[in-house]
Amino acid sequence: MEEFDEFSLITKLDQQKLTHLLVSIPGTKELVVESNLLRPLDKICSMKILRSLNCQRVQQLYLDKTNIWDEQIEQRIFFIRPSIPISRKICELIRSEPEKPYSIIHVGSLKNFFLKELERNGLGNVVNFYEFNLTLINLESDLFSLELPQYPPEMFNRYFEELIKTFWQLQTLYGQIQTIFGFGDFFPIFDKLFKRICNELGEPTFSSGQFISHLFIFDRRLDLFSTLLTGLTYESILNDMFNYNCGKISFGETVNSKLFSSQNSSKEEFPQKFSFPLNNSDLIFSSIRNSHMTKVFPFLREKYKSLQSSFAKVSTIQKVDEMKVFVSNEFDSLRDQQKQLEIHICACEYIIEKTQGLNEQLSIENTILRGEFKHLDVFNFLLKMITLKYNQWNILQLASLWCLRANGIPEKYFYQFQEVFLHRYGFDQLFIFYQLSINGLLYKNNTSFSPLFKARNPFSKRLINKSDKQLAAINFPTKNEMKGQISENLNSIINGLQLIPQNDEEQKRRINKLKENNLEDFSDNKTSTNQNNLGLGYVFSNTYIPLISSIIDRIVTMGWDENYLKKVIGEDSVFCTNPNAKAPDNRIRRALLVCFVGGVTFAEIASLRCFAQNCDFRLIILTTHIINRERSFKSYAGFSD
């Protein structure tokens, strides 16, 4: 396999483009950056590089307060992604001092609403515009993100433009990828737009040095369960509990205060918004990031004992030369590991405090997914969560999981749950129930859905009459025409690909039955011939195997079976550009590139890394963004970034 350079050519090109833009703007510069772009900008151009380009000051763009400018700096530059709130804020800032020169570097294409807002304020000719396409941000050696916002379901196609440009650039620089698997009904449109860009900018050529053999493009909406379930790897829990993005984490005041006391530091040294880098250079974190939480605490305890014994060696050293060797070779590394260990111990203590009673919730999730639940038991547990004032989004996530697995909540339970929830959290939350209903996440079991549901449902094409698509597209669905469609399709995927791992007793019964009939077990639930290998569902305590992990594992072990996958996932949701291509083979030492359109969870990332380790594959993950469970769920409830 060719040595993987972590797409460094793309990063260098982004840096060169941004450098060229800033150099083309004369004079001293003050850069005002949208909050979601601060860390991606730092990944592309550090503060040292920006200062060399005459950017004397960088500050965050605040939507809720006024930015204070440095009057001595000549140029004022906004670095933003176009949105309505940001356009209004920029107009407000420019109107306050219109005599100053302003420039806007917009990430992605400039939207009409942005220009209209400027024109409405009489600022259309006052501002200079520069376009910058942000491509791949390197989060880890095997993980790359476009760091796009969490768009609501009705704006799903907004992910396409920047992702397609990234694919074109990637294949232009590194060579054409011969075999592409697409999962999701968006793929024909995606492929058509990609070919249009190739016609405009040039077709990528095949390179014998291409280190990627297969590309998997996956529609996030095909696997909603992975975003609703509680991920139980260390990194997944950190992402759900703290402000963790672009490889850095801000723990907040509670965890920081524990660090102050453990490290005898003042709050000036560790301010509340202080962020810590989390990557594989942190030896402690790299060892536990993909581990199930039950494995994390014993590891930290053993690591603490190991460090204590290493520091104890100092007391036994009697010769000066030996002390010099210890200080030069081991001391700095041990101190770094001690600081890292303290950070993760404090984080884990906070996690333990905040996850009291989580076991009962995990048990309910387990019974729901396995289909072993009683409606009354789930309903009573949701009432208990409401009574104890749990986070409202956690309650709604569990209710949505129940709804999807049950093809709709029984009517009597649905109305009682809704009434109690609204009494506790306010009747203004009724809008959330409406949004979740039209997005197919929370509804009673006799719901007749509106055309909005049909437009936003990735499985909706199954409802269209193939012989008369135009007529079907304008007709309103009849009563019960769409009853539980998203649930039925998700459940058919679960059953068809056996995404619910069997427990030991079920597995033994199944194997014995196969032996009686002289058959071999070809199911996807066989973990591996190596008993030390983890199952792909360990990230959810073996309650559920992420869909993409199961699909890739199936293709690698059993080959490409298009007919079966179309039958299970959907006729319009499975595609391959080269159906006759050979299955991925680890002997050719080339990587598999897995792309998520609509985001990926850290639980899925850990599961894919587990597959790569078990099967000895090099896996590269590319995503539009990293999913935070609560933020993702809020987008279905009508709230967006």
What are 614's two structure tokens?
């078990």
* pLDDT tens digits, one per residue of 555-588: 998 889 999 999 999 888 999 998 887 888 777 7
* pLDDT tens digits, one per residue of 68-91: 999 999 999 999 999 999 999 999
What's the CA gap between 161 and 317, in Å, rounded? 62
| Residue 521, phi-psi category: left (phi > 0), alpha (psi -120 to 50), beta (remainder) | beta
E strand residue ranges, 263-369:
275-277
Residue 332: pLDDT band (50, 70, 90) is confident
* pLDDT tens digits, one per residue of 205-235: 888 777 899 999 999 999 999 999 999 999 9
97 SS3 class: coil
What's the CA gap between 56 and 61, in Å, rounded? 16
What's the CA gap between 416 and 620, in Å, rounded? 46
Q: Which single residue is written with the structure tokens 């979601």?
A: 36
Fill in the amino acid letter for 389. Answer: K
The residues near 256 (Cβ < 8 Å, ≥ 6 apart) are 267, 270, 271, 272, 274
What are 252's two structure tokens?
């907040």
What is the per-residue pLDDT for 586?
78
Biggest distance spanned by C-alpha atoms of the chain: 90
Nearest Cα to 496, choosing from 436, 573, 601? 573
Q: Which single residue is written with the structure tokens 């547990």?
A: 381
C-alpha distances in Å from residue 66, one per residue of 62, 115, 186:
7, 22, 41
What's the CA gap between 287 and 576, in Å, rounded? 36
Using DSSP, how many helices (H) and how many strands (E) does the chain show?
A: 27, 15
Beta bridge partners of 75: 29
CB 540 within 8 A of CB 607: no
What is the per-residue pLDDT for 531?
35
DSSP state of 141: T
What's the CA gap between 459 and 488, in Å, rounded? 10
What's the CA gap between 277 and 412, in Å, rounded? 49
What's the CA gap between 107 and 12, in Å, rounded? 17
Phi, psi of 572 (to 5 degrees): -100, 15
Fill in the amino acid letter for 269. Answer: E
* pLDDT tens digits, one per residue of 318-329: 677 777 776 777
CB 539 within 8 A of CB 232: yes
What's the CA gap between 207 and 457, in Å, rounded? 38
What is the per-residue pLDDT for 595?
97
Mean pLDDT of 248-272: 69
What is the per-residue pLDDT for 464?
37
> Cα 553 from chain centroid?
20
What is the per-residue pLDDT for 298?
93
* pLDDT tens digits, one per residue of 135-157: 899 999 999 999 999 998 888 98
Does pLDDT of 333 surpass 90?
no
CB-CB neighbours of 384 under 10 Å:
13
CB 613 within 8 A of CB 603: no
182 SS3 class: strand
Min mean pLDDT across 159-173, 356-370, 451-465 is at 451-465
* pLDDT tens digits, one per residue of 265-309: 555 555 556 788 899 989 999 999 999 999 999 999 999 898 888
Residue with more model confidence, 267 or 41: 41
* Dihedral sign computed on CA atoms, order 391, 394, 396, 399: negative
* Dihedral sign computed on CA atoms, order 146, 149, 152, 157: negative
The shares of helix, strand and coil residues in the chain, as percent rounded to the nearest 5, are: 55, 15, 35
What's the CA gap between 545 and 192, in Å, rounded? 32
What's the CA gap between 526 and 535, in Å, rounded? 8
What's the CA gap between 468 and 342, in Å, rounded? 64
What is the per-residue pLDDT for 451?
55
Nearest Cα to 136, choosing from 13, 270, 34, 232? 13
DSSP state of 583: P
Radius of gyration of the chain (CA): 26
Residue with more model confidence, 12 or 3: 12
The residues near 514 (Cβ < 8 Å, ≥ 6 apart) are 520, 521
Does pLDDT of 410 surpass 90?
yes
Q: Which single residue is written with the structure tokens 């199936």?
A: 554
Domains of the chain: 8-134 (3.40.50.2060), 135-202+210-223+571-641 (3.40.50.1910), 246-354 (3.90.830), 358-488 (1.25.40.850)
* pLDDT tens digits, one per residue of 590-636: 899 999 999 999 999 999 999 999 999 999 999 999 999 999 999 99
* pLDDT tens digits, one per residue of 487-517: 667 888 998 899 998 765 555 554 454 445 4
Mean pLDDT of 46-54: 92
Percentage of the chain exceeding pLDDT 70: 85
Residue 527: pLDDT band (50, 70, 90) is very low
Beta bridge partners of 90: none
- Return mean pLDDT, the chain: 85
Helix (H) or strand (E) segment spanning residue 291: none
| Residue 559, phi-psi category: left (phi > 0), alpha (psi -120 to 50), beta (remainder) | left
What's the CA gap between 414 and 399, in Å, rounded? 9
Q: Which single residue is written with the structure tokens 């973990």?
A: 527
| Residue 369, phi-psi category: left (phi > 0), alpha (psi -120 to 50), beta (remainder) | alpha
The residues near 346 (Cβ < 8 Å, ≥ 6 apart) are 251, 255, 258, 259, 262
What is the per-residue pLDDT for 402?
96
What is the per-residue pLDDT for 459?
53
What's the CA gap between 376 and 363, in Å, rounded? 15
DSSP string, 478-536: PTTTTTTHHHHHHHHHHHHTT-SPPPHHHHHHHHHHHHHTT-----TT---SSTTSPPT
CB 280 within 8 A of CB 140: yes
